[in-house]
Amino acid sequence: MNINFTKKSIRSADAKIMINRLNMALKDILGHDGTAHVSYGDFEDDKAFFLIGYDKEKPVCCAGLRRIDDETGEIKRVYADHNKDGLGAKLMEAMENRAAEAGYSHLVLECREGNGHAISFYRKHGYSTCKNYPPYEKEEDAVCLEKWI
């Protein structure tokens, strides 16, 4: 599988397709769509971006990066159509490379305890548990992870 990653507007048609798939998947896993701490504006800052992976011309994965500060970006809205074939790993590699190109050296992300598959995936790819950062610092079921790149 040869995936082409492209920065797109979070408001693009392909982004909406991928976000809808993510929301449905999260509802199945957690009982909610995970949108409580997401704003489209998060991905429109100068150092922010939304990345979509394409297999041929079909969108198959996505993730966004929100600027926290000059060195730290938060990865959000991560979704891959396949849980095999290394698609998620390719997506994270592309996100980390683009984040480094944008000047970030530290990445953080948040999952819910109920999403053990995602937490295991991130740990497998070098992310380690960190102190819960805002707005998750008072949310007991939030699991925050970080990686220095």
Domain boundaries of the chain, sorted by first residue:
3-148
- Please give the pLDDT value at position 66: 96
Residue 43 · residue 95 · CB < 8 Å: no
Counting other chains too, the contacts that 33-41 makes at CB distance below 8 Å and 24 or more residues apart are 34/112, 37/110, 37/135, 37/136, 38/76, 38/77, 40/10, 40/11
User: Which residues sit opposite 80 in a β-bridge?
Assistant: 61
- Please give the pLDDT value at position 119: 96
Distance, CA of 25 to CA of 19 (rounded, Å): 10
Q: Would you say domain 3-148 falls under CATH 3.40.630.30?
A: yes
Residue 42 · residue 64 · CB < 8 Å: yes
The whole-number mean pLDDT for each consecutive block of 10 residues of the chain, a chain of 149 residues, reads 92 94 83 74 91 95 96 96 84 97 97 93 97 94 97
- Please give the pLDDT value at position 79: 93
